[in-house]
Amino acid sequence: MSWQALTAQTCALGESPFWHPHEQMLYWVDIPGRQLLRANIYMGTVQAWDMPSEPGCIAPAASGGLVVALRDGVFRAREWGGALERITTLPYDTAVVRANDGKCDPAGRFWVGTIDEAKKAHAAQLFSIDCRQGAPVVECKAGNALTANGLAWSPDAQTLYWADTSSHVVHAWDYNLASNAMTAHRVHLTFTPKPEGWSFGQGGYGGRPDGAAVDVDGNYFVAMYEGARICQFAPDGTLLAEFPTPAQCPTMPCLGGEDLRTLYVTTGRHGRSAAELEQYPQSGCVFSMRVDTPGLPVNFFAE
């Protein structure tokens, strides 16, 4: 099995990929590029949609279109390229915090994690936005983090995973989908911190946990930013496999394709060194490879 670049188009920082089963298209975002993107993988075509501010994450809506978390709020797009209708504003200072990793849970709530751009106040949080009864119900579900990432649910939705990338930790909770309650917090995975003074080309660092996905067996796939790999962990935290990536900075995996057995990963090139980009010239591309076990279908936003 080997990686293939989805298109030659690169992103500054690709994130939030999902496979749309009705459209048979792959969606993702370029955060600093302020774009939503989608690809017809059969035709090899990519469409880009400019956003007014940085998009952290997106999800498909059950009634069509998308839900989008921008720096300054959560918006509804009824159609590709259409108007952005504000759903809600999340309670954080947009001067130093923005939306980052997120997706919908199996009940249709949209979850948005944030990033503390100053990396000082541990101001990153995790929010759920429930629009199923009309007016949005916003809850802060976790916090005291620097960079929210790694959000995923087990196949039975009884375990919720969430990473704080900068701390090199993936957390887990018992989760009640009906009540939206998170209990029994524990540290699920820990990774060796980045050595002081480390730079590209040096050994001794395997990266830190960025975006994640779960397959039908409950295995947790996590992109290891600066580690040039995706790690696959069993539900008990055992490392099952490592997939070296053709970019030093993979950002988020998802499983898609008609049979959900294509592993996609977004990557980044923004701010990377000339030496790194020379070794990994396709940094910023979306890559795909085939895997044996299918993933879980994307969850749709409900309203």
Residues acting as catalytic residues: 210
How many Å apart are CA 5 and CA 11, to the nearest integer? 12
Q: Determine the 3-state secondary structure of 110 from DSSP.
A: strand
| Distance separating alpha carbons of residues 59 and 145, to the nearest angstrom | 23
274 membership: H or E segment, kind and range: helix 274-279
Return d(Cα 85, Cα 259) in angstroms, integer. 33
Which secondary-structure segment (H or E) carries 190? Answer: strand 181-190
Which tokens belong to 55?
């998009």
**Is residue 16 a contact partner of residue 6, using CB atoms and an 8 Å limit?**
no
DSSP character string of 34-61: TEEEEEETTTTEEEEEE-SS-EEEEEEB
Q: What is the spatial distance between Cα 258 and Cα 280, in angstroms, rounded to a whole number? A: 29
CA distance 125 to 88: 16
The C-alpha atoms of residue 286 and residue 265 are separated, in whole angstroms, by 6
Contacts of residue 121, Cβ cutoff 8 Å, sequence gap at least 6: 96
